Structure 1
Amino acid sequence: MADLSIHAFVSGRVQGVWFRQSTKEKALSLGVQGWVRNLNDGRVELMATGEEQAVLQLEAWLSQGPELANVAEVISDRVDSIDAPQTFEVR
């Protein structure tokens, strides 16, 4: 199965609601590598790479996020490749 890499921005109530840690836990459970971080404008940014179906599952999960989040929008682009850590980390 082919690998897939994405670069995504999530907006809404996504900071201070355990979004980054929940994203890390979801990614690790799917075997996806990459990172997630808060941005100064209130959005969350992430880069993820891994087996195509796993990355697509993570991408779909971003629209919902953890229980306390209120996701307004997910903007996600496919990218050729990313310089990902060997795990998934919160930055």
Structure 2
Amino acid sequence: MTAWVRGRVQGVGFRWWTRVRALEIGGLTGSASNLADGRVQVDAYGDRARCALLLDWLRNGDTPGRVDGVTEIWRPSDRATAPAEGFAIK
């Protein structure tokens, strides 16, 4: 799953918060990256239920900053390109 989070989400610890949530859920790998337009892109690899939980936290959790909206795309997991382990901050 790839999610694009818009709002005041850069410079407030949002990527680190996302990483902590992903590790807390467990079974997810991926990354959270700042984009030039002010959004944060979250790439999560794992089973759909775990990705959906992370997506719910992105939308409804007590996040740092302010989330104005989240757009996501679901695709079949490509384990060849998925990180083997961990959740990176980029």
Q: What is the TM-score with the length of structure 2 in the denominator?
A: 0.86
Query: What residue in structure 2 maps to residue 55 of structure 1?
Result: 51
- Report the aligned-residue RMSD: 1.4
Distance in 1 (alpha carbons) for counterparts of 2:36 and 2:62:
20
Give the deviation of 1:80 after TM superposition. Answer: 1.8
The sequence identity of aligned pairs, in percent, is 38
In the other structure, the counterpart of 1:89 is 88
- CA distance in structure 2 between the aligned counterparts of 1:58 and 1:65, rounded to whole angstroms: 9
Q: Deviations over 1:5-43 (max 9, x none)?
A: x01100001011110000000001111111110001000
- The one-letter amino acid of 1:77's match is I
Give the Cα–Cα distance (whole angstroms) in 2 for the partners of residues 43 and 16 of structure 1: 11
Distance (whole Å) between structure 1 residues aligned to residue 13 and residue 61 of structure 2: 9
Q: Number of aligned pairs?
A: 86
Q: Secondary structure at the match of 2:7?
A: strand
CA pair 20-27 structure 1, distance change in 2 beyond 3 A: same
- Unaligned runs of 5+ residues in structure 2 are none
TM-score using structure 1 length: 0.85
1:15 aligns with 2:10: yes
* Aligned 1:7-86 pairs, distance under 5 A: 7-31=2-26, 32-82=28-78, 83-85=81-83, 86=85
- C-alpha displacement of 1:54: 1.3
Structure 1 unaligned runs (5+)? 1-5
- Secondary structure of the equivalent of 1:40? coil
